[in-house]
Amino acid sequence: MENTKITIVGTGSWGTALAISFHNAGKSVTLWGRRAEYVTELCAQRCSAYLPGISIPKTLPITSNIKEISASKVILWTAPVQQSQQLMESLKEYIPSNCPIVLCSKGLELQTQKPLSKLFENCLKNPIGVLSGPNYADEIANGLPAASTLAFKNLELANQISQLLRHKAFRIYAYDDVVGVELAAALKNVIAIAAGIVIGKELGKNCLAALITRASAEISRLICTFGGQKETIQTLAGIGDLVLTCSNEKSRNTSLGVALAQGLSLEKILNARKSVTEGVPTTKVAFDLAQQHKIHTPIISAVYSVLHEKKSIDDVLSLLLNNQHDREFE
């Protein structure tokens, strides 16, 4: 599979970073975007507003030609989750029937309350996988060492695709829990908003560590409820991504939490951003699912109260800190 043609759908920070990383590693990769005018700008300027300060190699193909989708042997999907169903519907007739699709976007679809893999499986017969891990886009683009989890239901296929994608600066480990990896990736964004509030309120490192640990239990409960594996929280896609994202303001979701803690409104924060902050819609879906299935998720509920019920952060923190169970595993 060494010269297999890889098409990356989505020209945001993550899609562009992956394209640069794979291209610099000598892989056959094309970056595809739906907005022709933006693709033309990328081709001319060879830099992205989503990845400031990082040059795009002149030899990396960038296109909006839909025929490039038809030539794909592997597709990596990095379009935002909330825009993905509409885009997938417009592209599905061009996607080769046996072409594996690797979902690299993190979130839960607001209208259907489903992970992206379920939406794709309902419309396509292609093998659907998920790539997730503790990966900041700029570091991947700059060739710094990183690792990630790649899950397909078929572990042999996961091994094949991971061997195709991995290179010396990007380790990729095969796994078979698609729904678990996808839920861990999505729910991590919710917890990152809570982490940002902890950072913005200067509640300390002890509090942040406790938050991450207790949040991992909430994520694990949701994963198991929806058929995932309990061990998935221990993977790069689980605790690895959770620790990275919650540890500093480089994450869009964490920085949003910091801004909320400093008194800015959600609307003002989102209006000032170019990139999508997936944790906001995902919080609503996660809260609704937890309520429907009677899953104990106090941190997710707290974030929901701040974002979608407009409750005071101080009031929500007070309630959360006073909500003490006697046993850790409960």
Write out the catalytic residue numbers. Answer: 188
Q: Are 34 and 63 in contact (CB under 8 A)?
A: no
The token pair at 84 is 């993905």
User: In which residue are the tokens 């909430």 written?
Assistant: 218
For residue 313, give the 3-state DSSP assignment. helix
Spatial distance between the Cα atoms of 270 and 330, rounded to a whole number of angstroms: 35
Specify the DSSP class assigned to residue 237. Answer: I
- Neighbouring-strand partners of residue 170: 146, 167
CA dihedral of 216, 218, 223, 229, whole degrees rounded to 10: 50
The number of angstroms, rounded, from the C-alpha of 246 to the middle of its chain's C-alpha atoms is 13
Neighbouring C-alpha atoms within 13 Å toward the C-beta of 174: 14
Spatial distance between the Cα atoms of 25 and 257, rounded to a whole number of angstroms: 35
